[in-house]
Every structure is written in C-alpha cells, then in structure tokens.
Amino acid sequence: MERRTQFNMFTRVLLLLCMMGVGYLLLLVSMFVVLLISGAQFGDRNSILSMLALQGPMVFILPAVVAMALFYRRPLHVMQLDRAPSLKALAVVVVFYVVSLPAMNWLIDLNASMDLPSWMDGIERYMRSAEESAAITTEQLLDIQTVGRLIISVLVIGAMAGLGEEFFFRGAMLRTMQDSRLNVHAVVWIVAAVFSAFHMQFYGFLPRMLLGAWLGYLFVWTRSLWVPVIAHTLNNSTVVVMNYLANKGVVPKDFCDNLGLPADGAFPWVAMVSLVLSIALAVWAARIFKKNRACVSGNIDKGATA
C-alpha cells in the first residue's frame, strides 16, 4: 500500500472514527432539516427509513473514502473496489448463508437468553430496555405490506446498509489495520467486534461478531470488497423479503428465525450439524481462494518473464 501520509495505525483508525462522528453530526442536521420541512415526526417508519437511507453515504461511505484518500494514494485500489467478485465467491456466499442459518439462529437465541451477574443488574436492565426499543423499531421497519414498500426496504435496509457498513468496517477499518504489524486474524476479529459493538445490541453481540468475522475473511480471501458487500446485502435483504412473505401469509411468521431452534430441553442437533458444515465450508473456501490467488500470481509472473 503506497501511503500518502505516515500516520501510524492507531492514528488512522482514530481519524476514521472521527470522520464517522462528523458524518453522524451531518446526518442529524440533515434529518432535522428534513423533518422541519416535511412536518413529519421522528420515530415513524418513513423518518426511520429516511435516516437509514442517508446514514449509508453520510456516516459510512463518504468518511471511509475520504479517510482512505487521506491515507493512501490509490484509495479505491487499497479498498479493493477495483476487483469484481468471481462466480465461485458468489456461490460460496449463497451456500454458506443457507447452511449456516440454523447455527446462527441457535447462537442468536443463546445470546439473547444470557444473564449478567446480579451486581450488574442496572446494566442488564438498561441493555434489555435498549434491546426492546430496537425490537420495536425493527418491527416497524419490517411491517411491509406492499411491493413498493418491499423494494424500498430492500434497497435501504438490504443494499444501502450492506454497502455502507462494508465500505467502512472492511474496506477502510480492516484494510488500514492490515497495513500494520498485526496478525490478519487479529485484525479480522477486532474489526468484527467493533462492527458488532457499533450496533449497540448486547443480546445479539456474539452472532453479529461472527457475521462480521465471516465478512472480514471473505474480504481477505477474495481481495474484493464487493464479495462481503453482496454477502451482507443478502443477509439483510433475506430478512426483509421473508418478513414481507410472512405478512402476506405465504410463509409462517418467523420461519427463518426459528429454523434450527430445538424444542425446550431438546439437544440442538440441526444447529450442531449446521455449525459443523459451516466450519467445514469456511475452511474449504479459505483453501480454494488461497489456491486461486497462487495461480493468479503464478500467471502474472509467467507473463512478466515471457
């Protein structure tokens, strides 16, 4: 990576987070102006969707690109936006999502049932309250009854959220932390933990961190930011579409969310099989992508000496 400045890793990450903070301030000002002009009230579904639509470019995409342009001479190349995803990578993304769904549901349920020690009762009450508020907001957003609302929700909740968060967390934060002495696995998991903590939902922290790690490894293995963008968009959009279908009575309510969850007291066999298959698929994918990179490097070397 050809740096434009000689900031160390901690300074780069701090500046990146500061730019995110500036983006949040701009978002709040923008939403205030929008609500003032429209006369709408903050908290209704339309205002939340508007905020999410603006959040992607203002809080994530613009700060990420500006920061990387400050740090590096070829920011889009460093963020690995100049490499299209392969069909093999897309196939891995889809298959892994389907295979890992029961295991992820079980982990979500496990995380949600965790209790903190008695001396942390105050913190637990606050986190439970925040979780309930987030659940109410999510329920508002997913109360989708028309095709038009479905398309808007997929674009905002699915595509824009996936694009924005991947630009920031994988394309900028993970990439600039790679440009240090830290081990790549440490970088992937640190960024995954930050990514999960950013959502401010303790009772979904573990599964969201695992999702962040998977997205991080996809980025590292494929060397294309578009692969985790597509994987993230697939994850979010599936939730939107399945809720729309449930609202229309096409599928049972919470069909995907309950997939793999055992009956009370039963052993989670489906989730365990899903977990084993997911780990096996991830290991296989790592080897395949590493082999592909070696082949590409070999071909480049041959071309250079021909």
Q: What percent of the chain has pLDDT over 90?
A: 65
Residue 185 included in any domain: yes
Residue 231 included in any domain: yes
pLDDT tens across 51-70, in order?
999 999 999 999 999 999 99
Under the banding of pLDDT at 50, 70 and 90, the label for residue 4 is confident
Residue 54 included in any domain: no
Residue 210 included in any domain: yes
Q: Given this model, what pLDDT does residue 286 score? A: 94
Residue 252 included in any domain: yes
Tracing tokens 């609202």 back to the chain, one arrives at 247
Reduced DSSP (H G I as helix, E B as strand, rest coil) percent helix, strand, coil of the chain, to 5: 80, 0, 20
Look at 12 and 118; give whichever has higher pLDDT.
12
Q: Given this model, what pLDDT does residue 25 score? A: 96
For 216-233, letters b (16+ CB in 10 Å) and e give bbbbbbbebbbbbbbbbb
Q: Given this model, what pLDDT does residue 38 score? A: 75
Q: Given this model, what pLDDT does residue 201 score? A: 84
Q: Given this model, what pLDDT does residue 294 score? A: 65
Judged against a pLDDT cut of 90, whether residue 95 lies above it is answered with: yes
Class of residue 285 by CB neighbours under 10 A (exposed 0-12, middle 13-18, buried 19+): buried
Residue 266 included in any domain: yes
pLDDT tens across 116-141, in order?
788 888 888 888 888 888 888 888 88
How many domains is the chain built from? 1
Cβ-Cβ contacts under 8 Å for 154 (sequence gap 6 or more): 237, 240, 241
Range of the domain at 281: 85-296
Q: Given this model, what pLDDT does residue 13 score? A: 95
Judged against a pLDDT cut of 70, whether residue 301 lies above it is answered with: no
Predicted TM-score (pTM) of this structure? 0.91
pLDDT tens across 254-277, in order?
888 888 888 877 899 999 999 999
What is 275-296 written as a DSSP string?
Answer: HHHHHHHHHHHHHHHHHHHHHH
Residue 40 included in any domain: no
Residue 41 included in any domain: no
Under the banding of pLDDT at 50, 70 and 90, the label for residue 304 is very low
CA distances from residue 120 to 198, 249, 260 in whole angstroms, order as listed: 21, 42, 31
pLDDT tens across 237-255, in order?
999 999 999 999 998 888 8
**Type of residue found at 292:** N
User: Whole-angstrom Cα distance, residue 210 to residue 225?
Assistant: 18
Q: Whole-number mean pLDDT of the chain? A: 89
Judged against a pLDDT cut of 60, whether residue 306 lies above it is answered with: no
